């Protein structure tokens, strides 16, 4: 009997934002491969709930070269249940879409378990609604590393969308600033950068679009993270509800001893 693979989104960071279905799969898996971008709180949570599973970290290089996929194929041939856990949502800038395609090509049974995207989680946890009936009727996800590949699309986006949610795998701030200003975005558009979103280590730094060097120069800032661009960022002034200093770990994490 062939095994099964679950492609699971771990959510933006806080273990309590993992879906109930995702947790159920983790608890019953024979093998769990997790993205090294997943934070320490989530990793501890995974270990404390994986009663049977063998937990194995993987990196993006291993995924892109196909090494991890070969492991998935091998385990399913041995009738094992495998969880492939990625940060955020499995079909949003994670590479899981390629894994799903390969699994389908080989006739391996798999299931996709959606997760809260890092971008939307980050926005919610600094009190920024990516849409608003008066200020923003649309938003778009972007990968900063791909902005140079689609200059025409960026100009179209500038004219069509009110809010940008940009995944920053490293410091692309000056590139993003230049590209968006060239594409027609106003220099005084509010911007917010969020790292370690939804966790006790969450940090947010704001600026205007023409002065993102303020963010780059903040000694507390590191990458990866999420950049929000648009007028809705100003809602952070009023409804910034989350205080990382008061965040409590889930009991299963705090008491795990890991």
Residue 59 has pLDDT above 80, yes or no: no
Name the most confidently modeled range: 94-98, 235-239, 247-251: 235-239
Query: Which backbone phi and psi does 63 adopt, to 5 degrees?
Result: -70, -45
Residue 140 has pLDDT above 60, yes or no: yes
b/e code 9-31 from CB counts within 10 Å (16+ = b): bbbbbbbebbbeebbebbeebbb
Report the run of H or E that residue 195 belongs to, with start and end: strand 190-195
pLDDT value at residue 55: 72
Query: Which backbone phi and psi does 26 adopt, to 5 degrees?
Result: -60, -40
Q: What is the pLDDT of residues 84-127, one digit of tens each?
A: 999 999 999 988 999 999 999 999 999 999 999 999 999 999 99
pLDDT value at residue 151: 66
Cα(64)–Cα(94) distance, rounded to whole angstroms? 10
Domains of the chain plus CATH, in order, are 4-116 (3.40.1010.10), 119-239 (3.30.950.10)
Query: What does DSSP assign to residue 28?
Result: H
pLDDT value at residue 34: 87
Percentage of the chain exceeding pLDDT 90: 61
Q: What is the mean pLDDT of the chain?
A: 87
pLDDT value at residue 207: 98
pLDDT value at residue 53: 59
pLDDT category at 38 given cuts 50, 70, 90 is: confident
Residue 251 has pLDDT above 50, yes or no: no
- Segment among 6-10, 49-53, 131-135, 161-165 with least mean pLDDT: 49-53
Query: Which of 154, 150, 87 is closest to 121 using CA atoms?
Result: 87
| Residue partners of 243: CB distance under 8 A and separation at least 6 | none
pLDDT value at residue 49: 80
pLDDT value at residue 253: 44
Q: Are 21 and 113 in contact (CB under 8 A)?
A: yes
Residue 76 has pLDDT above 50, yes or no: yes
Q: What is the pLDDT of residues 143-173, one digit of tens each?
A: 988 777 766 677 788 778 899 999 998 999 9
pLDDT value at residue 130: 97
Q: Name the region of 208 (left: φ>0; alpha: ψ -120 to 50; beta: rest).
A: beta
Q: How far is CA 226 from CA 100, 198, 218, in A?
A: 25, 12, 15
Q: What is the pLDDT of residues 169-202, one digit of tens each?
A: 899 999 999 989 988 899 999 999 999 999 999 9
């Amino acid at each position: 009997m062939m095994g099964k693979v679950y492609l699971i989104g771990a959510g933006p960071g806080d273990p309590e934002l993992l879906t109930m279905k995702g947790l159920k799969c983790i608890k019953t898996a024979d093998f769990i491969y997790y993205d090294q971008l997943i934070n320490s709180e989530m990793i501890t949570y995974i270990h404390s709930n994986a009663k049977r599973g063998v937990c194995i970290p993987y990196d993006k290089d291993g995924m892109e070269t196909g090494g991890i996929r070969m492991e998935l194929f091998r385990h399913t041939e041995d009738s094992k249940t495998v969880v492939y856990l990625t940060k955020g949502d499995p079909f949003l800038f994670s590479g899981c879409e390629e894994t799903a395609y390969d699994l389908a090509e080989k006739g391996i049974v798999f299931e996709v378990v959606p997760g809260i995207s890092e971008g939307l989680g980050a926005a919610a946890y600094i009190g920024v609604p990516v849409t608003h009936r008066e200020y923003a009727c649309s938003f778009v996800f972007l990968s900063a590393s791909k902005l140079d590949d689609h200059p025409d699309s960026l100009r179209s986006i500038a004219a069509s969308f009110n809010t940008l949610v940009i995944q920053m795998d490293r410091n692309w701030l000056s590139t993003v600033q230049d590209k968006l200003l060239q594409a027609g975005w106003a220099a005084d558009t509010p911007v917010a950068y969020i790292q370690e979103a939804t966790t006790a280590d969450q940090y947010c730094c704001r600026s205007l679009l023409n002065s993102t060097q303020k963010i780059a120069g903040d000694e507390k800032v590191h990458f990866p993270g999420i950049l929000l661009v648009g007028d809705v960022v100003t809602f952070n002034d009023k409804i910034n509800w989350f205080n990382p200093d008061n965040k409590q770990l889930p009991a299963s994490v705090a008491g795990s001893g890991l």
